[in-house]
Structure 1
Amino acid sequence: MTQSIDTASPKDTKVFRSTDMMDPARSAALQVALGLQPSMTAGAELPPFFHQLYFWTPMPPDQLGRDGHPGLSKSGLIPDLGLPRRMWAGGRLQFEHPLQAGVEAEKRSAVERSERKLGRTGPLGFVTLRHDIHQQGRCCLSEWHDLVYREDPAPGAPKPVPPRAREDEEVARQVSFSSTLLFRYSALTFNGHRIHYDLDYAREVEGYTGLVVHGPLLAQQLMLLAEELMGPLAEFSFRATAPLMHFEAASLCCKGRDLWVRAPDGRQCMQAQAVPRA
């Protein structure tokens, strides 16, 4: 895997480039972790969103933030907005061509939006990253990745009231997320965010009641369900609306092109829309 920074793009926007051979064993390992039959071999088409397993950006320990993510700096891809808590708020994907396992690919990443605003609960930072993945001389996938940054909650501050999930689904699948699955997903995606594996940190520093299920892992499950029901996808968008804890089972729901994740107490954890390939 190689990485480089290109600053010769319009308006001096930094474009981070990295390459990866898309090792099929890594995708097969995720299939096993999700309880699926491993089928990835060299040349096989990757399931949607499996590119999250690739293009790692390892950083030495002294360059990590308190939460386990790479620390922010002016020289990195993500600007430092002065807010400690990071959340993957959602994303949008356009699938042009299937990615193939075992074939070198290049990922080109840039910041499309970076701003700080004052919300009802205090200052918020919003960052949108764009990733384009090229393989065999063509762009196969474009992804917009939305991040939200916020301050630590004040002691005793009320928690936001999550939205209620719909109950008119045509299809519902029950899923669970053990701490083992969260650990495996963190390892396969090289995600060091401590809210997914460090229970004391998740509870005492960030105020959660348990380990937090990765937003991308919820989106991954919804994408696999959408592809099963609709066939190959052309587009997929999702937005996280409430955290799901590792001790909670959840329902993956679908009606038409709408999908969502419903927690046991009825709150909506994620909503999504899928567009099948014509």
Structure 2
Amino acid sequence: MTVETQTDVLDPARAAALQIALGQGGTIRAGTPLPAFFHHLYFWTPQPPDGLGRDGHPKVGGGLIPDLGLPRRMWAGGRLEFHAPLVAGQAAERRSVRESLLPKTGRTGPLAFVTLRHEIWQDETHCLTEWQDLVYRNDPSDNEPRPMPPVARTDETARREVSFDSTLLFRYSALTFNGHRIHYDLDYARQVEGYDGLVVHGPLLAQLLMLFAEDVMGPLAQFSFRATSPLMHTETATLCRDGQSMWVRGPDGRQCMIADAAARSQ
């Protein structure tokens, strides 16, 4: 099994910048435990221009993900186990493997599901494990019917309204070094990948849900999420919670993401 290893110093300024971008102030300093999922600000894998695919992501085929001949990439969901806090200002190591690769055929043609597993270590402590589920598929055809999105629950016991714009999507892309053009190139998002607008990052929605969960539940032990319908940058969404269950509801009532959060034992 191939293991890719990266090291990075968890710059507190980058974490504070994300807090500011989300309207939460910039309180993180060296020595501060990072909020859940903030590790996505680190372990960048920059490539030269000729190392990028048409979508702005690094080309597949040279690392953990083979070239499957499927041009569209989507982050379908993930699962995290938090073992110990990551601390800003200190070095950390990420160890990554491809856990599974499953080709399938769906209603719109061939698909491939890839699961990556990441372990992050700091000061010889295993701090978290993350499973990242990716889907690769063909471009949409002009006569391809759009799938009907699921309808979201309306029985939440707590909610938060969140809104997005192209500036926030750009800043999140920059802070996470995510070059996927569906988040900042409107013509590409519409004309090539068939979206109605710029797509709100699935990880950004998951990040907002985790921050919501931490505010209510305290430090998390586990979090899992699955994207079910894309959200556009012009849309306001509702973050919903009922016990451990969480979800994102679009302005038309559709379900954009479902999640489950579990708090760490005190």
Question: How high is the TM-score relative to the length of structure 2?
Answer: 0.99
Q: Distance in 2 between matches of 1:21 and 1:224?
A: 22
How far off is 1:264 after superposition?
0.3
How much does 1:138 deviate?
1.1
**1:84-99 equivalences in 2 (<5 Å):** 84-99=71-86
Query: What does residue 32 of structure 2 align with?
Result: 44
Structure 2 residue aligned with 1:153: 140
2:225 equivalent to 1:238? yes
Residue from 33, 49, 53 that aligns with 2:21: 33
In structure 2, the partner of 1:212 is 199
Structure 1 stretches of 5 or more lacking a match? 1-12
1:1-278 aligned at under 5 Å gives the runs: 13-73=1-61, 75-278=62-265
**Residue identity opposite 2:32 in structure 1:** A
Aligned residues: 265
Write the letter of the residue equivalent to 1:14. Answer: T
Specify the SS of the correspondent of 1:43. coil
Q: Residues 220-243 of structure 1: CA distance to partner in whole angstroms, max 9, x if unpaired?
A: 000000111111100000000000
Q: Is the 8 A contact 1:79 1:114 kept in 2?
A: no
Asked whether the equivalents of residues 128 and 147 of structure 1 are also in contact (C-alpha less than 8 Å), the reply is yes
Gaps of 5+ in 2: none
CA contact (8 A) 2:108 2:144 kept: no
Indicate if the aligned counterparts of 1:93 and 1:141 stay in contact, CA closer than 8 A.
yes
Tell me the CA shift for residue 121 of structure 1: 1.6
Deviation at 1:184, TM superposition (A): 0.1
Partner residue in 2 for 1:7: none
| Residue 81 of structure 1: how far off its partner (Å) | 1.3
1:56 positional shift:
0.2
Secondary structure at the counterpart of residue 26 of structure 1: helix
SS at match of 1:37: coil
- 1:41 counterpart SS class: coil
Separation in 2 of the partners of 1:156 and 1:33? 39
- CA RMSD of the aligned region, Å? 0.6
Q: Residue 113 of structure 2 aligns to which amino acid in structure 1? A: F
Q: Give TM-score scaled by structure 1 length.
A: 0.95
Report if aligned partners of 1:173, 1:251 keep a CA contact under 8 Å in 2: yes
* Structure 1 residue 190 displacement after superposition: 0.2
Q: Partner letter of residue 18 of structure 2?
A: L
Give the whole-Å Cα distance in 2 for the aligned partners of 1:111 and 1:225: 30
Shift of 1:115: 1.9
1:6 maps to what in 2? none
1:65-92 CA-to-partner distances (Å, cap 9, x unmatched) read 000000011x312111110000000000
**Farther-moved stretch of structure 1 (41-50 vs 112-121):** 112-121
Among all aligned residue pairs of Structure 1 and Structure 2, give the percentage whose two residues are the same amino acid. Answer: 68
- Between the aligned partners of 2:104 and 2:190, the Cα distance in structure 1 is 26
User: Does structure 1 conserve the Cα–Cα contact (< 8 Å) formed by 2:103 and 2:113?
Assistant: yes
Distance 2:66 2:148 in 1: 29
> Whole-Å Cα distance in 1 between the matches of residues 67 and 86 of structure 2?
32
The residue aligned with 1:5 is none
**Counterparts of 1:80 and 1:238, CA distance in 2:** 26
What SS is found at the alignment partner of 1:202? helix
Shift of residue 270 of structure 1?
0.2
**Is the contact between residue 103 and residue 112 of structure 2 (CA under 8 Å) also seen in structure 1?**
yes
Q: Distance in 1 between matches of 2:111 and 2:255?
A: 22
Select between 51-60 and 78-87 the one with higher mean Cα deviation.
78-87
The one-letter code of the counterpart of 1:144 is W
Q: Which runs of 4+ in 1 moved over 4 A?
A: none
